[in-house]
Amino acid sequence: MSYFCSLTLVGLFMYLGDIGTDTALVFTYFHEEHYVWSGLTALFIITGLTVNQIFSYAWFLEDMHKNVMDSKPKRWYLVLHIFGMGILLRYVRALMSQNGYLKKGYEEGSSKLFSDTADLSMLKLFETFLESAPQLLLQLYVHQNHEEWSVLQYMSMVFSFFNLAWSLVDYRICLRKSLPQSRELPSALPTTVYLLYKLFTITSLILSYSLLLILSVYSTVGFTSLWLLGTIRAHHLKTNFCSSGVLELLYRGVIGAVLVFTFFNVKGQDTKRDMTVYYFFWTVINFSTPLLMFFLKPELKTITIFLVVSGVIYGGSLLGLILLVLYYRFLHSKQEAKKQYDEVDGLENVDGQEKETTPSTRRTREFIKP
C-alpha cells in the first residue's frame, strides 16, 4: 500500500468516525430530551455537509468545463451530492487516482492524483472548521455542564480533535505539493511544529470559548460577531477563490468561520501585521477568560475541572505562541512563501512564460497560504 493511499484511508476513517459519533449523539440527546443539544449537534453536521456538497459539485463542474475530467457522470455526481455523499465520492476518486498513479507512472498519473487530493484536502479543511471545531466546542460545553458523561461524548470529542489534527497535517502536505518549486513531501520537523502550533492555539481558544459559554450562553452573540468580522474582512480583501459570485460570498462566509478558530492567510499577501493583530486579541481572550470565570463565578474556584481547563488554556497558549514564533522564524520557507505570494491566480510562471494551471492547482494556491 502506497504512502498516499495510507494517508487517504486514515483521513476517510477520521471523517466517518467524526460524522458517525456526532450523528449518534444527535439521536442520544433527542432520546434524553435534550432537544437543544440534539438540534445544535445536527445543525453543525448539516452545515458542514451542505457547504461541502455545494463546493464539491461546483468544482466537479469547473473541472468538466475545463476538460480536466469526463463530463458523462455529471448527473450521477449530482445525485450523490444531493444525498450528501460528495466527500465519499472524492475519497473513492482519490484512491482510484493513487492506483492509476502507481500503474501509469509519475508524468501521467501525478496531475490527476494531485487534482483529486488537493480538492479533497480543501473540502476536509472546510468541514473541519464548519463541523469538527464547533462540534468540539459544543460537546465540551455539554461535557462541563452534564453530570453524567457518556462514552459516546468522549468518542465524539476524540474524533473531532483528531479529525481537526489530521486535516491540518493533510493541509500542509497539500500546501507543500502545490508549490511549483517544491513537489516533494514536507519534512517531518516543520510539519510537526506547525501541527503543534495550530493544535495548541486552536485547542486553548476552544476551551476559552467553552468557559465563556458557561459564563453566559449569550457569548454566542460574540462568536457570531467574530464570524461576521471575519467574513467582512475576507470581503474587504476581495478574495478571488470561486468562478461564481454567489459561491465567492459563500466562500467568504467559510473563511469567517475559519477565522473564529484560527488565523489563515486568505489572500496570499504579507500578513505579519494581520497575524499580530489577530493573535493579540487571541491572547486577550485566552488569558482573560479564566480570570473572568474566577471573579464572576467564584463557586468554581474549588472545582478541579475548572482548574485543569484553566491550566490547559494558559499552558497551551504559551506553547502555541512559542511554536508559532519558532515556526515562522526558523522553519517557514520565506523564499517559497514569497514565490507563492507573487503567483497570479490560475497562472504559473515557467521559464518566463505564463502557463495555465489546472482548476485544482489554482484553487489550492488561492486558498491555502502559509
pLDDT of residue 347: 31
d(CA 257, CA 233): 12
pLDDT of residue 342: 32
Neighbouring CB atoms inside 10 A of 22's CB total: 26
Nearest by Cα to 63 from 116, 10, 137: 116
* Residue 221, CA distances (Å) to 213, 216, 217, 228 in order: 10, 10, 8, 11
Ranges in the chain, pLDDT < 50 = 106-109, 335-356, 368-370
pLDDT of residue 189: 86
pLDDT of residue 3: 62
Neighbouring CB atoms inside 10 A of 204's CB total: 27
pLDDT of residue 198: 93
Residue 2 corresponds to which amino acid? S
Cα separation of the two ends of the chain:
30
pLDDT of residue 336: 46
Nearest by Cα to 363 from 191, 170, 114, 187: 114
State how far Cα 7 lies from the chain centre. Answer: 17
pLDDT of residue 272: 84
pTM exceeds cut of 0.75: yes
State the residue for C-alpha cell 471575519: 230
Nearest by Cα to 237 from 262, 265, 259, 260: 265
**What are the tens digits of pLDDT across the range 87-116?**
999 999 888 876 655 555 544 445 566 667
